[in-house]
Amino acid sequence: MKKFIIVVLLLPVILFSQTQRIPLGSWVTVEWQAPPDSNITKYTLYFVKPESNDIIAMHITEWNVGDTTLAKPLQVTLGLGQWELYMTAWNAYNNESPPSNVVPFEIIPGRPGAPLNVRIKFSQASIKSEVFPASIRLMKSLDQVQDVRAIPIG
């Protein structure tokens, strides 16, 4: 019983500590809990590449408010590798909030595109001279098998 309780308690830690892997070019949705301030005018998403300290900032000016706040889906156009995301809120006085929690993720190569417009077409292939005699030999061997079966035993 003690082993079961330990596993159950550690399972959420293991599940939530894994870095999310996102295929390059995917569409993602960012969710968050809005701060209690009612005069938020925009949010800024900061995408940081830890090994190079590159930062890409994206302003969000439209979002849906509910239990969690949802931005419109975004297409991932970041380079491959490890990234971190955090965000800030801005009020009507153009003051920026402290940063949110950091969310690590990894951009991985996407799947290749599927073949398009696949069709099958009938065409009459020309019979090559080396193929034709092989067909004849096969037919002769089938005739021989039929001949053997036709011989009465006894």
Q: What is the CATH number of the domain that holds 86?
A: 2.60.40.10
| Pairwise CA distance, residues 108 & 23, whole Å | 5
Residue 32 included in any domain: yes
Q: Is 151 helix (H, G, I), strand (E, B) or coil?
A: coil
Residue 34 included in any domain: yes
Cα 96 to chain centroid, rounded:
33
Residue 61 included in any domain: yes
**What range defines the domain where residue 67 resides?**
17-108
DSSP string, 68-134: SEEEPPEE--PPSEEEEEEEEEEETT-PBPPP---EEEEEEPPPPPPP-S-------PPPPTTHHHH
Residue 21 included in any domain: yes
| pLDDT tops 90 at residue 47 | yes
More confident residue, 8 or 37: 37
How many domains does the structure of the chain reveal? Answer: 1
Residue 149 included in any domain: no
Asked whether the beta carbons of 73 and 27 are under 8 A apart, the reply is yes
DSSP string, 34-63: PPS-S-EEEEEEEEEETTTTEEEEEEE--E
Radius of gyration of the chain (CA): 33
pTM value is 0.60
Residue 38 included in any domain: yes
Residue 27 included in any domain: yes
> Could you read off the pLDDT of 54-101 as tens digits, one per residue?
999 999 888 887 767 777 888 768 889 999 999 999 999 999 999 999
Q: What count of residues does the chain have?
A: 154
Among residues 56, 111, 59, 100, which one has the least CA distance to residue 79?
56
Whole-number pLDDT of residue 90: 95
Residue 90 included in any domain: yes
